[in-house]
Structure 1
Amino acid sequence: MRIGYFGSPDLSATLLSALHKEFEIAFIVTNPDRPKGRSANPVPTPVALVAEQIGCPVYKFASIKKEAGACELLASHNADIFLVFAYGSLIPRSIFDLPPEKTLNLHASLLPELRGASPIQSSLLRGFPVTGWTLQYITEELDAGDILSSCEIHVLDSDRVPEL
């Protein structure tokens, strides 16, 4: 199975590394390099660094919605499925409808609770005793697609973001 992968932060890079061991990654879409530190030198996302390590084509769209030719470019890779995990931008229907097996989103909370960015941090700040992960089809509305699967994680008082 050929996967088109969309993601940016460390946690997403960890998943990408694991997927690469079992599946063919057709391409990767991540956020553009951003200035960091006192020098303000542009730094690639953790997902971009993994893409470089595994030798996979990587695309850094400032706005995937506005990027001319993005749809055709991604379609040319003939991915069977797209997987989105912490990409940080909405993906237009013209792109998420491309693969024959559709586009899935992995979300770090039990949807529909805690839609949007930083669900792990939000669950900790709100003191949720249980959080989890949700795998869903992607739709035009943020984190609102049909749920395929979810799993609960009981939150311990000592848990922080890395543990969840």
Structure 2
Amino acid sequence: MRDERYVALADILPQATVRVLQRYYRRIIETRYKIRFAEKTRRWEFEEAPIANLVNLQLSDLVQRITGENIVPTYAFPVHYVSGGHIWPHLDVPENEISLTMQLDLTPADGEWPLMLEAPRTKELRGVSMRNNDGVLYRGTEVVHWRDKMPDQYQVMQLIFAWRATNMSGCNAQ
């Protein structure tokens, strides 16, 4: 994380938690409850994320240990990509100073849809493939990242978690 500005993580959450999250998000996708479709990126975006925000908070100690920084969670962003989904190369907004993209549910289960990253120092491009419950923790405001077009018949549910440094002069310094 220190040199490359990102690190791959495996088996982030307990398996029982992953199964509950998979069922929860599958149900929301089935019912289309409080989600909207973004045609440009071919993904469903969730208008509310109470469960993901709780997981974001619970992951904060782990992320703080990995980064060695005092951080606070800012928000979670669940998204469900469908065939042809993609996201252009970009840097994150300041609230995503540190980001974790976690793959929750990929169909087909044996498929791959890597998160592409450009190492800030070397400009080397890397694709990181994940299994369900794996993720990539990265400096969202420093590491250019994207997803190429998803293959046909694929879909993926992912949770994006965000943190920023603690503002020692602000209200979260207490």
Q: TM-score range by the shorter chain?
A: under 0.3
TM-score (norm 2): 0.24
TM-score (norm 1): 0.26
Higher relative contact order (CA 8 A, sep 6+): 2
Point out the structure with the larger strand share.
2
